[in-house]
Amino acid sequence: MAVMDEGRPPRRAASGAPVPPGFRSRLLEGLTPSQIRAVLAGARRQRVSRNEVLQHEGEPASHLSLLVTGLAAFYTATFEGDKLFLRWITPGDAFGLAALQNQPQPYLATVQTLQESSVLLWERMSAHALFSQVPRLRENLYAVASDYMARLAHVLVSRTSQTAEQRLARMLVESAHQIGRAGREGIALDLTNELLAEAADVSVFTASRQLSEWHRQGILAKSRGKILLRAPKRLVSLLAGHRP
Amino acid sequence: MAVMDEGRPPRRAASGAPVPPGFRSRLLEGLTPSQIRAVLAGARRQRVSRNEVLQHEGEPASHLSLLVTGLAAFYTATFEGDKLFLRWITPGDAFGLAALQNQPQPYLATVQTLQESSVLLWERMSAHALFSQVPRLRENLYAVASDYMARLAHVLVSRTSQTAEQRLARMLVESAHQIGRAGREGIALDLTNELLAEAADVSVFTASRQLSEWHRQGILAKSRGKILLRAPKRLVSLLAGHRP
DNA sequence: CGCATTGTTGACAAAGTTCAATTTGCGTGG
DNA sequence: CCACGCAAATTGAACTTTGTCAACAATGCG
């Protein structure tokens, strides 16, 4: 993964703050420092508060975006208009990949912040120009798109072939990797039952019952809006060791 | 969509038959005739019989492929190893897009023929070379990949938020577009209950019951391995007109 | 301290799957 | 050309999983 050069104080982008030291993104991997500077210079940096919609499914894909700090969720809408969680967007994740198509396309999903965040935004046309100048960007873009594909396929498999219990376990384990904070007691997650239920596509009631069950078994501890995974391995075993 | 030049007799590719006249593929759209010749010349043409596996999920993506004639299905495997239908592959559809990544990647899905078919195969490295020579190919590739994303998202929405009846209706309507033969009586589909059930992710029993119901209502006619859609619009109305 | 948000619990209902028992259709070989 | 045999399709009934709903509890913020 690309790491920003931490040696020298990073140059301030034309219209925004620099990227935090140590920031990594799959999209910028393998670029030279000067290429990274050029790419960042073409972006607009923006702070966004919690629960802000960064892109709206169906609207023309006008920007390529990159989450710098914070947390967002990537949703698609059902035919009835309910939102359907697809994945977390964490710092370093790009979204709005539809903007890089030659023909203007609509966004495939809605992205909404779950915490105060900051993003880099490239306007469609200037992104096209940048991607022509830096071939490595195109390669990275394709890799990122492929990663979306693979994740989407996993979600699909999970939703259609796993039980509610397994989906919850999977979501907890994945979330632990992506948005968890490791501590002495275990891995801490800032998730309400409601958000977790939504992410695992389970009713809040099922989520509550299952979490209580795992709490009883000592696998995790709960408090309001927080989950502490004490034994993530026991959750993993619910997934893999399913067939005896 | 790209159409092969039908004016002159198509030049025979190095190691296979030419593409049939009128053949169209999203992947080759916008290429000049000479570019198309060059691209086809780099491919191996292959006949494959029914139920042949063209690529295996998890194996290294060694080839980019293009279905020329016939029909195939694009499956992914569940964690238990069952196959999970994702989409049809019809003539002109490319698959094995993972081969175009810079780093070698595994195939994301299994592709299996449902009829006697023929495919064009590009070995990974020569595909890379071709795609460097013809920038338009890269653009098309990205568009094709985006189309996969969009379809996958649709499947996901369908699987998680629609009833068995709706999924069957949707699958019938989609299949009618993609693999149906329009006739005076309606649109004919060569599908067994089993294949349809698999594609809609429904048990064969549910499929049988629902088809019988629609048969009773005059929406379709069935015979062994065949379905004749008489009133596809009434199926569509089950999807959209669901909310009153 | 009061109130809104978040979480819990039990009873019940709905949607589909599973299973077993048959029936139907169709190609084939005698 | 007929009967056989297999694959495809059907049907009813029990069963499972999970969602829905209503009522309630507890947590923590202002």
Per residue in A120-178, pLDDT (tens digit) is: 999 999 999 999 999 999 999 999 999 999 999 999 999 999 999 999 999 999 999 99
Per DSSP, the residues of chain B read -EE---SSPPPPPTBSPPPPTT-EEGGGTT--HHHHHHHHHTSEEEEE-TT-EEE-TTSB--EEEEEEES-EEEEEE-TTS-EEEEEEE-TT-EE-GGGGSSS--B-SSEEEESSSEEEEEEEHHHHHHHHHH-HHHHHHHHHHHHHHHHHHHHHHHHHHHS-HHHHHHHHHHHHHHHH-EE-SSSEEE---HHHHHHHHT--HHHHHHHHHHHHHTTSEEEETTEEEES-HHHHHHHHGGG--
B205 touches chain A (CB under 8 A): no
Q: What is the dihedral of CA A202, A205, A209, A211, to 10 degrees?
A: 60
Residue B168 pLDDT:
97
Any atom of strand D under 7 A from CB of B106? no
Q: Are A64 and A97 in contact (CB under 8 A)?
A: yes
Q: For a pLDDT cut of 90, what percent of chain A falls above it?
A: 85
A6 pLDDT higher than 80: no
The minimal CB distance from B160 to the residues A103, A159, A242 is found for: A159
Rounded CA-CA distance A94/A29 in Å is 12
pLDDT, one tens digit per residue, over A171-181 is: 999 999 999 99
Q: In this complex, do B84 and A156 lie within 8 Å of one another by their Cβ atoms?
A: yes
Sheet containing strand A110-113, strands side by side: A53-55, A110-113, A72-77, A83-89
Distance B42 CA to D27 C1' (A): 67
Closest A-chain CA to B132: A135
Could you tell me which CATH number the domain at B162-239 has?
1.10.10.10
Among protein residues, the one whose C-alpha sits closest to the C1' atom of C26 is B224
Residue A2 has pLDDT above 80, yes or no: no
Rounded to two decimals, the pTM is 0.91
Match 């495997």 to its residue by tokens.
B77
Taking phi over 0 as left and psi of -120 to 50 as alpha, with beta for the rest, A233 belongs to alpha
Question: CB-based contacts of B151: which residues, under 8 Å, 6+ apart?
Answer: B86, B87
Is the CB atom of residue B209 positioned under 7 angstroms from any atom of strand D?
yes
Q: CA–C1' span, A174 to C15, in Å?
A: 29
**What is the pLDDT at residue A243?**
43
For residue B224, what are its two tokens?
């062994």
Q: Nearest-CA distance from B117 to chain A in Å?
A: 26
A147 close contact with B: CB closer than 8 A: no
**Strand C nucleotides with an atom less than 7 Å from a protein beta carbon:** 6-11, 15-20, 25-26
CA B22 centroid distance within chain = 18
Q: CB burial class (10 A; 0-12, 13-18, 19+) of residue B62?
A: middle
Tokens of A227: 């989950």
Cβ contact B153–A108 (<8 Å): yes
Domain residue limits, chain A: 26-157, 162-239
Binding-face residues of A in 10-49 toward B, CB within 8 A:
none
> Measured in angstroms, what separates residue B226's CA from nucleotide C19's C1'?
26
Asked if the C-beta of B216 comes within 8 angstroms of chain A's C-beta atoms, the answer is no
Please tell me the distance from the alpha carbon of residue A215 to that of residue B169, in angstroms, as a whole number: 42
> Which tens digits make up the pLDDT trace of B201-236?
999 999 999 999 999 999 999 999 999 999 999 999
B26-157 belongs to which CATH class?
mainly beta
> Which residue from A13, A28, A9 is spatially nearest to A67, judged by alpha carbons?
A28
Euclidean distance between CA atoms B151 and A99, whole angstroms? 18
Give A108's contacts in chain B (Cβ within 8 Å): 146, 149-150, 153
B76 touches strand C (CB under 7 A): no
pLDDT under 70 in chain B at which residues? 1-18, 240-244
Query: Residue A16 pLDDT more than 60?
Result: no
Which pLDDT score is estimated for A88? 97
Query: Does the CB of A142 fall within 7 Å of any strand D atom?
Result: no
Tell me which chain A residues have a C-beta less than 8 angstroms from the C-beta of B240: 79
Task: Check residue A15 and give its pLDDT.
Answer: 40
Helix (H, G, I), strand (E, B) or coil at A203: coil
Q: Return mean pLDDT, chain A.
A: 91
SS3 label, residue A236: helix
What band does A238 get if pLDDT is binned at 50, 70 and 90?
confident
Flag residues 22-61 of A with CB < 7 Å from strand C: none
**pLDDT for residue B6:** 42
Across A192-201, A229-238, B171-180, least confident range: A229-238
Position A133 scores a pLDDT of 94
Strand C and B174 CB separated by under 7 Å: no
- Nucleotides of D strand lying within 7 Å of any protein CB atom: 8-13, 17-22, 27-28
- Residue A230: pLDDT above 80? yes
**Residue A102 has which token pair?**
């030659």
